[in-house]
Every structure is written in structure tokens, then in C-alpha cells.
A and B are shown apart, each in its own frame.
Chain A
Amino acid sequence: MLQDGLRGALNQSALEPAGPQAAKVTHLWWFALAIATTVYLLTMGALWWAAHRARQRELRGEAAVGPEAEQGMTRGVTYSIAATIVILLIFLVTDLSVGRTLSPVPSKHPLTIELTGHQWWWEVTYADTSPHGRFTTANEIHVPVGEPVLFVLQAQDVIHSFWVPNLAGKKDLIPGYTQSMWFQADTAGLYRGQCAEFCGLQHAKMALHVVAESKADYQRWVDQQRGTAAIPTDSAARRGREIFLTGTCAMCHSIEGTSAGSHAGPDLTHLASRRTIAAGTLPNTRGALGGWVVDPQRIKPGVRMPPNMLKPQDLDALLTYLQSLK
């Protein structure tokens, strides 16, 4: 069902790189795999051959090989050990070189995104030279194609790990520490990421999506995200807004342009513009949204969001409002 919400299958494979980071690692992997397989097959071959030889001898009733064979064995073993060492060194060198090439950010002033891990969702803030240009969203990161993006990683509660396999390896978000990493998306598309460090009850459902899009689309998105939520015109939505601001919602969520300013939960200023809700768990459809608002504990047991028993018409109004938050 999520697919309809996301237009396309969910891709979270480390072997389908969409950027230089992941690509290099993928190459490294195939290289390593090739070596490993060869070495493994050779070893097993040797094992089989040894067993076979011994059997032959036994069938022929020969006695076990005597000391004269020792040199041969010594040579064999020495060579194979030497070979192992050489191979390992080759691997080590390639690996380290790859590691070096990947670490520095290839840009002076990269687009910087501050990512904060919460139990169990992602707070995403786009940095800007002017404070007024900053804006905050959640669980969905938009990046321009072909441009390195720098991530500043922090955690609000426990250790999380930021990982979008198609784009780059992971980095931990550790409370009290500030780490950074970067990646670059070369092909436009939707890439799924997921928390990779066990962080409690809903670790399994702490996902995010990276939307890589053309510079133009990205700019359009940024401009729209910077805007604040307008006061709805139709009565239903207005009623929904009222419920949001005076009910339980405003205790945890914020909507720019209203009096709701709590950061306990994700920022909902442009909720309707996102593809998923509940940290990449549900498609952002009216139905899913309703189900989530009413009984989130059924979908993500232990999640911080409480159930909300709204009267049907109230729920309807609230959903109308939430869906108006483009």
C-alpha cells in the first residue's frame, strides 16, 4: 500500500548505488567478493583434493606418507600462507585508498542539512546563511541532483544511525556529539533510508526518504517549504485548524504561522507535501492519516504519539485541515 503513496517500489539496496559514495563502495564490494570467492574455492579445492588423495592412498593400501613428504607439505603451506598475506595486503591498500577518497566533502560551501534523530523520527532542518532562510521538516529530505550535500548529525535522546544505502554508508547520531557526513545523488529518484542503530521499541519503523530531484524542482520545493501555513478558507478546514490548535495535537506538533510551536513531534507545516507519514511507515493518504491519528499504537506499538478519540466530524475536519497543509 505504501507503494501507491510512494510511486514505485522501495529501494534500500547498498548494491544499487545512486551516488559516488555508494558506487565506490559497491565496486569495493564486488572486488572483495571476487577475491574472497577465489580464495574460498581454492581452499575448498585443496581440502577436497587432500581428502581425495588420502582416500586414494588408503584404497591402494599404501602406508601414510612418511617424512619425505614433509618438505613438499611445508612448501605448499608456506606458499599458501604467503599468498594469503599478499592478497590481504592488496585488499587492505585498495580499501584504505577508497576510504581516503570518500572522506572529504568535494565542495567549499555545500548545501548543509541539520539532521536530528528522535525516538522514532527524523527532524530535518535546512541551514541557510540568513536565519530567516532556514526551515524545518521531517522524515523527508529533498536534495538537488549532482550536488554534494553535507549532513550535520545530532541526536535528541538515544543513539540513532543515519543510513541511505543507495547513496552512502551510515553514520551514528550520538547525543552530545555532532558528527557530519556527506553524499551526492547523481540520478534523480526516491531513496529510502532507515535508522541502523537499535534505538528502542520502534527502531524497525524509523525510516526516511531522500528525494533527489532537478535543481529547479528542488528550488521550487525549498521556496514552498519556507512559506508558512495559510489560514484555510473553507469552514471544515478552519474547524480542523481550531481542533488542532486547541486539542491534543498542538501539545507536540508545530505548524509555522499558527500558535502551535511544540517540537516534541514532527513539524507539520507542510505535512501534505510529504509522501509518507509516521516516519516512512504509511502513505500520506487521507485514510492512513485518519487511522494514524486515531490509533497510532496499533500501527507502531510504543510510538510517542497517543491515541486520539475524536468525534467523527471532528476527525473529518482535522484531516481536511491537515491535507490542506501543502
Chain B
Amino acid sequence: MSETIAAAPTVDPNGPYEAEIAELTRTYHSDAGRFWGWVTSVDHKSIGKRYIATCFVFFILAGLNAGVMRMQLARPENHIVGPDRYNQLFTVHGTAMMFLFAVPVMTAMATYLVPLMVGTKEVAYPRLNAFGYWTFLIGGLFLFAGLYSNTGPDTGWFAYTPLSGPEYAAGKRVDVWAQVVTFTEIAGLVAAVEMIVTIFKMRAPGMSLNRIPLYVWSILVVSFMIVFAMPSVAMASTMMLAMDRLVATHFFNRAEGGDPLLWQHLFWFFGHPEVYIMFIPGLGFVSAIIETFTKRKIFAYPVMVLALFVTGFVAFGLWVHHMFATPVPQLGRSLFTAASVLIAIPTGAQIFCWIATIWAGRPRYTTSMMFALGFIVVFTIGGMTGVMIASVPFDLQVHDTYFIVAHFHYVILGGVLFPLFGACYLYFPKITGRMMSETLGKWNFWLFFVGVNVTFFPMHLLGLDGMPRRVYTYLPEMGWGKLNLIATFGAVIIVSSVAVFLWNVISSWRGGAIAGPNPWGAPGLEWATSSPPPPWNFHPVPVVEGRAPLWEAGEELPVATGLATDRREVLITTALDAIPDNRHEHPGESHWPLVMAIAVGVTFIGAVWTPWAYVVGFAMSAVAFGGWGWPRGEHPADQVTDGVLPRSEAR
């Protein structure tokens, strides 16, 4: 692919900007790498990297849970774990995969990529970004600390009351769950806010709405969904469930006028959009991958964008289809059925567009591309079953059975993991400056592809054969043994595939082939800077004149100059047409985000035992806020953009 590297135009660091670059180096100097520098860093790339790494650690831990569960279910009446342990395992598996991996890993990737893709120097609110990460980390550790201290939540990842209420869930297990949810929701909301602002106000000059990369669109949609969905569950878990359990409120106590169904509504109002929050970024990745490896702009860009928005919108009209077995009026059911069926349309549309793109383009079957295709193959199956279970009568048969387990694993593994692996192979060079091994990559892909289907396809049959989910064992007479054994075998394959992936990452990081700025000849701005990018991403900032800048620009990418280099200054552009608007100085390294996160940690973890934790926590937060908001030197924060002019126009 040497020729592509040559072909790709980049911002040449050794151009006329040496002096400024030198100054930038001083401005952005941090002793990142040393511990203190590491904890105080606010660079979205370093945060993004550790975010991604953390997510994968949780992914592996939660995956191991699944492994044990599969072992337990491999044979009827198996005694590897008892019901008590098993319930903790599947609850933590679900919780971790949802709250600590699927959603945050996408946030993490976005944290790293979006600023590069929109061609800005930093993410909006860099310290908030750091704070988000620390909060997430504390929450994640708390969950697994719980599991390993036999305090793992054991009421399922949607913790239905009253089973999760004070009377039936003894001890602190469910409290741990409730607070972990809170931590992750905070992190999620924080990231969403940054993304929305970054995308709306910090795009490179010229990157008008109709030139925003599809991945960035998907992140924008998801960020909005997060803002609307997550408060619902945060309130339900932190306020209501935690308060019921800690200080005996009666939100979910039917006897005193509360209502257990209220929980289900609040949870699923978040829980269903959550599914789309997980895989819409995946769709974005697939677009990016297909675009890159077919060397062709995605077909019907407006349709794709529209599809994303429709999906994001309709996603909020589906939650009741998780509750068909509860008292819901006939009409209501029909409406939610209709919505659940119709949401298939936008996704379908996207799939057709990708196919068209492939048809019209020159596919190169790299590992990344393979994963993108694998996504279409696997995810579509999940989509099909999804449409089926939108049907009330049918859902009432398979609801809470292994059919559902199969369905959502197809959707999530198909919609999240395939694109994610694809994205890893695509962006690894950008992040590390080295290529990943394609051979290992192919192994990784095929093992994963086979593993997923071997594991989860039989579950459809198990479900139809009457096997409920969340059972720690089953009777030999049920005749579910064979299929379960197969599924377990499949799980082993998946594990091996992930092992290969990890090995590939480690070895490539150590000694992969050196990648240039743009090894794939991709069109996005993120490829217009060195790999790995400098702390300031771009200098000078690029100017965009089309949807695929690097393909459309000639030898040299137009740039905009004039941003100060003696301080961390970023360019603010208008929301619609990305016309330079003004410039804004960003803060430097700070330890306050960490302090703040610890304050939050003390509050919520302490609240598992005593309400006084809130008092203490608020005090600590106040201090942290003070330090955070302390005035930052004499530089006028914002200035008009005199002198900042796109070069191209200067010509």
C-alpha cells in the first residue's frame, strides 16, 4: 500500500511552520508517561487510549463471566457454580457489557477520533473529558470489586423490583449495581455533551453539515440519545431504587402506593434506546470502513444521515416491547409493535446503501473490511429476529427465553463488536503509528465469525424449545443438553478469537510495520496528520472543501493559519457552515478532574452504606469545583478571529 501513503496529502509539519510547531511543543509540553503527567493529562488522545484500554479490560472480565456460565450450562444439572454465584455472574456480565463496555467503548473511540475527524486541536471541555474517564473507571472497579467480594449484584442487569428491592435483595449487592449505573451514566452524559459541542462548534473551516463524516454523524445522534435516555435510568437507580433500599422510600412499594412497573418503564425508556446507542456508532464505523476500502464515497449520503436520525428518534418509541407480558392496553401494545417493526426500515436502507457502495467501488478485503461485511451478515440476522419479536403473540412465547438471548447477542455482537474490531484494525495505525498483522487479523475474524454463530445460533432453537434465560441449570429430561454443549463450544472459539486479537494488538504495538500518516489512503481528516498525531493534532488546522477532503484536495491540503501557538487555542466555527467564528483558549493539564471524580466516588460508594455520604460528597465536590474553576491566567478567553483566514481563500 506504499502508493497510497504517497498519494495521501497531509499537513506537512516541516513546512513553513517550524517555529510555531516548536512553540506548540512547549505549550503542549506535559510529562505524560510519568505517573503525575498521566493522571493530570487532558489530551483527548491519551484519555481516549486509556478509556479504550479500560473498556477492553472490562470486556475481558465480563467475557470470562460468560465463559464460566457457558461451562455451567454445558451439561444439565452441572455443579460448577451454584445459583447464588451464577446469578451474580450473569448480572455482572450483562451490566459490565452494557454499562462498562458496549456504550463506553464507543464513547472512548469517539473521544479519540472525533476531534481528529472534524479537524480540530482538542475536544471541547478537555477536563470534563478527563473527569468522565475517572468516574467511569471508579464505577467499573466498584462493580468488579463487588463481584470478587461476593457482593456482585444478582438480580439481572435490569434489576426488576421488587426482586431488587430492600425486602428480597439482601445485603449491598443491588446497591452496588445501582451506584455503578450512576457512575457510568455520569461518564456517558459528560462525553455526550463534549461530543455535541465538539461536533457543532469545533469543526474545521469549511466542514459544513453536509460534509461531516458519517461516523461523526452517528456520534452526534448517539450523543443526543444519551442526553435524553440516560437521566431516566440514572434517576430510577440512584434516586428511587437506592433510596428505597437505603432510606425506605416507597417508590416501588405497591403496598404503600408505589409501583413496581414504574421501575420497568423508567428502566426500559433508557434500556431500549441503549441498544441503539450501542450500535449506531457501529454503523458509523462500517460506513467509514466501507468508504475507505472501496475507495468510494458512501452511496446516498443524505439517506444514510437521515436513516441515523430516524433510528435515533424511533428508538424512543419501543421500550414497552420489553413489557408485553405486563399489564399494557391492547392499543398501546399495537403502537409499540408498529414502531418496533418500522425501525427496521432505516437500518435496512443503510445496508442497501452499503451494498450499493461495494457494488460500485473497489473492495479491498482487509481484516477491517471483513469485519464490516461480517457485521452485515451477522447483524442482519439479529435484525430479522428483532422484527419477529416485535409481534406481541410471538414475543409472549419467546420473551425471556434463550431466543431473546440469541437475538440480542446477534444484534450486539453483530452491531458493536464486528464494527469495533473493524475499527480497531482501521485506526490502530493512527493511534500507535504501527500496522496490525493482517494474518492474525484474518484468524481473529474467522474465529470470531464462526464462534459467534456457533455460540448463539443454537440459542434460537433452545428458546423455541422452551429454555428460559437466567436459569443456572436445567433438568436432563429437558433435552437441552446437546445445543447447550454446542453453544459452550462456540464460546471457546470466541475466547480464542479474542485472544488472537489481544496478541495481535500487543505484538503489533511492539513491532508492527511502521504506518505513515495515511496507510489506507482514507479520505478523512484524521489521516491528514501524523500517526500517532501530535498533542495538538493539527497545525495549522486544515480547511475542508468536500466530503472526502483527502481525496478531493490536490497535493496540498488547504489550511487555516493564525491560531496562537503560545497557548492552547482552538478555532470555533459556526454550527451550520463551519465558518471561522472565534477562537477559544483551552486549559492545560489539571488534577482537578481526578479530585472531582474521587469526590463523586466517595459520594456514591459511601451512599451504599449511609446517606451522610451525600453530605461529605457535596463538600468534597465543592472544593473540587473551586479548584477546577480557579481563574486561568490573564489571556482573554475568547477573541474574534481576526487573522484566522483559510489559506485557500487567501490565494
- B-binding residues in A (CB < 8 A): 2-3, 6, 9-10, 12-15, 22, 24-25, 28-29, 32-33, 36, 39-40, 43-44, 46-47, 49-51, 53-55, 57-58, 64-65, 69, 73-74, 76-77, 80-81, 84-85, 88, 91-92, 95-96, 98-100, 102-103, 157-159, 161, 163, 165, 168-172, 174-177, 179, 192, 194-205, 281, 301-302
Select one of B353, B361, B388 contacting A54, CB under 8 A.
B361
Closest to B398 in A: A14
Do the beta carbons of A200 and B168 come within 8 Å of each other? yes
Most A C-beta atoms less than 10 A away, residue of B162, B360, B400 = B360
Residues of B within 8 A of A199 (CB): 163
Q: Is the CB of B397 within 8 A of A88?
A: no
B246 touches A (CB below 8 Å)? no
For the complex, is B449 an interface residue (Cβ under 8 Å from A)? no
| A195 adjacent to B468 (CB under 8 Å) | yes
Complex CA gap A122/B363 in Å reads 59
Q: A302 and B387: CB pair below 8 A?
A: no
* A69–B333 alpha-carbon span in the complex (Å): 44
How far, in angstroms, from A73 to B299 measured CA to CA in the complex?
A: 9
A201 touches B162 (CB 8 A): no
Contact of B87 (CB < 8 Å), options: A74, A91, A201: A201
Q: List which B338-359 residues lie within 8 A (CB) of chain A.
A: 338, 341-342, 344-345, 348-349, 351-353, 355-356, 358-359
Q: Which residues from chain A contact B303 at a C-beta distance below 8 Å?
A: 77
- The answer to whether B362 and A177 have CB atoms under 8 Å apart is no
| A51→B300 contact, CB < 8 A | no
Please state if A13 and B160 are interface contacts (CB–CB under 8 Å): no
| B84 contact set on A, CB distance < 8 A | 201, 301-302
The answer to whether B129 has its CB under 8 Å from any CB of chain A is no
Residues of B within 8 A of A85 (CB): 345
**Once the chains are docked, how many angstroms separate the CA of A201 from the CA of B476?**
19
State the CA gap A15–B356 with chains docked (Å). Answer: 38
Measured in the bound complex, the distance between the Cα atoms of B31 and A300 in whole Å is 58
Total cross-chain contacts (CB, 8 A): 241
Residues in B neighbouring A196, C-beta threshold 8 A: 325, 399-401, 468
Interface CB pairs A-B, < 8 A, 9:
A14-B464, A32-B387, A51-B363, A73-B360, A92-B341, A99-B391, A169-B325, A169-B396, A196-B325
Q: What is the distance, in angstroms, from A308's C-beta to the closest C-beta of chain B?
A: 21
A176 touches B475 (CB 8 A): no
A13 touches B465 (CB 8 A): yes
Is A169 touching B393 in the complex (CB atoms < 8 A)?
A: yes
Provide the bound-state CA to CA distance between A10 and B466, in Å.
Answer: 11
CA distance A243 to B163 in the complex (A): 35
How many Å lie between the Cα of A205 and that of B352 in the bound state?
A: 46
B356 & A77 in contact (Cβ 8 Å cutoff): yes
In the complex, chain B residues 43-101 whose Cβ is within 8 Å of any chain A Cβ: 82-84, 87
B326 close to chain A: CB less than 8 A: yes
Bound Cα distance A235, B395 (Å): 54
A99: contacting residue among B362, B380, B392, CB under 8 A: B392
Give the complex CA separation of A15 and B460 in angstroms: 12
Cβ distance A276 to chain B, nearest Cβ, rounded Å:
10
Q: Decide if B548 is an interface residue (CB 8 Å cutoff).
A: no
